[in-house]
A and B are shown apart, each in its own frame.
Chain A
Amino acid sequence: MNSLNIINFLQYAFVQRAFVAGIFVAVVCSALGLFLVLRKMSLVGDGLSHVSFGAIALGLFFGIYPFYVAIPLVMIAAVLIIKISEKARVYGDAAIGIVSAVGISSGVILASMSHGFNVDLFSYLFGNILAVSKLEVVLSVILSAIVLFIIITFYWDLFSATYDEEYAKTTGVKTNFINILLSLLTAVTVVLSVKMVGVMLVSALLILPSVTALQLAKGFKTAMIIGCVVSVVAVIFGITISFYLDLPTGATIIMLNAVLFALAYLYKKLA
């Protein structure tokens, strides 16, 4: 290991920023991811991250701060996925495919038109949490807190609509509203995660902690808590390990998540 000890490591401002932003985003991703996984909508995250790629390109193209463009555009895309699958004789997964492809293509076209920001744009493909700015930390914390607040206050509606949509309707849950709400929350979360693990790996951050939790949990609330703990542990150790071993942080976080999933699976098999 490096000569740098843990105390010194934690004194770096960029490391502190990475931990704060990372922990908030990790909690939101795992909480939301559980609903998506159980609804078989895991790939919504993947589709929306591709849209955020196009949206970030658009921001860079016009010289606007990419987050400001990405958040509204990805939210619109999230609603579009629902509307396309409702109105246009298209299955949900195909709708994700359409929106996702449009996102990537527009990003690539904008990049080739600009002749200048390729490097910037492609840094978003794999993200870099150690490079988050102060503004990005503040933004991540505020938006994550809002998303968490909404998840907590709509917990039972989200749970019921995910468990059995038809039954939820008979208890007065407005399931159409809940579906749109979930998509909008996912959109915000995806944009927040892009900086951390990059466009290519966002969906893993949504999926892996939840499937790990599903190996162990005997109840929904427990699954949500286990997912959050797993996600936060992976982020904290991922940042630390990647720093000392000089590895890409996003990929390290995801690989740790995969290891935790494998351990949970083995534990379930053996226990």
Chain B
Amino acid sequence: MTDIISVSNLFVNLGQTKVLDDLSFVINKGDFVGLAGPNGAGKTTLVKAILGLIPISTGSITILGTDHASFSDWGSIGYLPQKISNANQLFPASVIEVVTLGLISQKSWPKRITYSDLNKVEETLKRLDIYKLKNAMFTELSGGQQQKVLLARALVAKPQILIFDEPSTALDPESRNEFFALVKKLNNEEKITIIIITHDTGYIGRYANKLLYIDKKLVYFGGINDFCPPSKDNQYFEKNENHIIWHQHE
């Protein structure tokens, strides 16, 4: 199996606070990794460190065989941020324009969007069944539709890795199921490696093949099937949560 992301002895400090403390793990091609942990455990920080959004203190991150510091192939990573959009409600972006932003990682100056780029955007919209929204204004869409548009933006450059930060917070249960099923399909059919931060531990059990549980330090990393069964002396997984993660065996 090919290493997609390999993290070794990673430390990240934000100011004086130690946020990530000696993390090491390797994610392989085609993995569907559920990233979980308590509030403030450093899940978003870990993802941002992988994406190069925050500096790492010591340790190393290797993405697709290239050291993080010299990594430049950002088109190979699709990212769906935590907030539905950091943009304000006045921003007049159409769906096509938002999705096109996902393509500019492949461009060099001057970045021009060609006819074939537009085709890629339209194909992606069709694939996610939101083609009819292409000229709509992003801010006028429902939460579920916005999430799909952002997923299209993450997918349009045909990434090898997709990273989601709390993708389901804005979704109602129905769109949530639909969203996870879609992600699973991408994982199965196109072997896209998925890393997903979610509080919906139930979904990790149902869809992920690996669990990465951190609380500043690494608590557990391994196959969902090897995950320790419920036990009463486990400090992290109270009976309920453990049971939910084991939902796959219901």
In the assembled complex, which residues on chain B have CB atoms less than 8 Å from the CB atom of A153?
109-111
Q: Does A122 contact B (CB under 8 A)?
A: no
- Rounded to whole angstroms, the CA-CA distance of A40 and B86 in the bound complex is 13
- Rounded to whole angstroms, the CA-CA distance of A157 and B109 in the bound complex is 9
Contact with B along A172-206 (1 / 0, CB 8 A): 11000000000000000000000000000000000
**Known A155-B111, A167-B101, A173-B104; contact A218-B53, beta-carbon cutoff 8 A:** no
**Stretch of A21-29, A220-228, A231-239 on the interface side:** A220-228
- Rounded to whole angstroms, the CA-CA distance of A222 and B91 in the bound complex is 12
Q: Does A136 contact B (CB under 8 A)?
A: no
Q: Could you say which of B72, B97, B102 contacts A221, with CB atoms under 8 Å apart?
A: B97
The distance from the CB of B54 to the nearest CB of chain A, in whole angstroms, is 10
Q: Does B132 contact A (CB under 8 A)?
A: no
Q: Could you say which of A167, A221, A223 contacts B79, with CB atoms under 8 Å apart?
A: A167
Contact with A along B103-134 (1 / 0, CB 8 A): 01101011101000000000000000000000
In the assembled complex, which residues on chain A have CB atoms less than 8 Å from the CB atom of B85?
163-164
Q: Does A219 contact B (CB under 8 A)?
A: yes
In the assembled complex, which residues on chain A have CB atoms less than 8 Å from the CB atom of B101?
156, 159-160, 163, 167-168, 171
Q: Does B51 contact A (CB under 8 A)?
A: yes
Q: Could you say which of B97, B105, B109 contacts A159, with CB atoms under 8 Å apart?
A: B97
**Known A153-B110, A171-B104; contact A164-B53, beta-carbon cutoff 8 A:** no
Main secondary structure of the interface of A (DSSP, over half): helix
Contact B137 A219 (CB under 8 A): yes
The distance from the CB of A70 to the nearest CB of chain B, in whole angstroms, is 29
Interface size on A, residues (CB 8 A): 30
Contact A219 B94 (CB under 8 A): yes
Q: Could you say which of B51, B81, B97 contacts A219, with CB atoms under 8 Å apart?
A: B97
Interface size on B, residues (CB 8 A): 34
The distance from the CB of A163 to the nearest CB of chain B, in whole angstroms, is 5
**Known A154-B110, A170-B51, A171-B74; contact A218-B86, beta-carbon cutoff 8 A:** no
In the assembled complex, which residues on chain A have CB atoms less than 8 Å from the CB atom of B97?
159, 219-221
In the assembled complex, which residues on chain A have CB atoms less than 8 Å from the CB atom of B90?
38, 214
Q: Does B23 contact A (CB under 8 A)?
A: no
Contact B104 A167 (CB under 8 A): no
Contact B53 A169 (CB under 8 A): yes
**Known A167-B86, A218-B137; contact A160-B104, beta-carbon cutoff 8 A:** yes
Contact B111 A172 (CB under 8 A): no
Task: Kindly report which residue of chain B lies nearest to residue A165, judged by CB atoms.
Answer: B86
Q: Does A166 contact B (CB under 8 A)?
A: yes
In the assembled complex, which residues on chain B have CB atoms less than 8 Å from the CB atom of A155?
111
A167, A217, A223, most chain B CB atoms within 10 A: A167
Contact B135 A171 (CB under 8 A): no
Contact with B along A138-162 (1 / 0, CB 8 A): 0000000000000011111101100
Contact B111 A157 (CB under 8 A): yes
- Rounded to whole angstroms, the CA-CA distance of A153 and B109 in the bound complex is 7
Task: Kindly report which residue of chain B lies nearest to residue A216, judged by CB atoms.
Answer: B92
- Rounded to whole angstroms, the CA-CA distance of A155 and B109 in the bound complex is 10
Q: Could you say which of B86, B94, B102, B110 contacts A171, with CB atoms under 8 Å apart?
A: B102
The distance from the CB of A118 to the nearest CB of chain B, in whole angstroms, is 42
Please give the residue numbers on chain B whose beta carbons come within 8 Å of chain A beta carbons, in ascending order: 51-53, 72, 74-75, 77, 79, 81, 85-88, 90-94, 96-98, 100-102, 104-105, 107, 109-111, 113, 135-137
12 inter-chain pairs at a CB distance below 8 angstroms, sorted by A residue, are: A40-B88, A154-B109, A157-B104, A160-B101, A163-B91, A163-B98, A164-B87, A170-B52, A170-B77, A171-B74, A214-B92, A221-B97
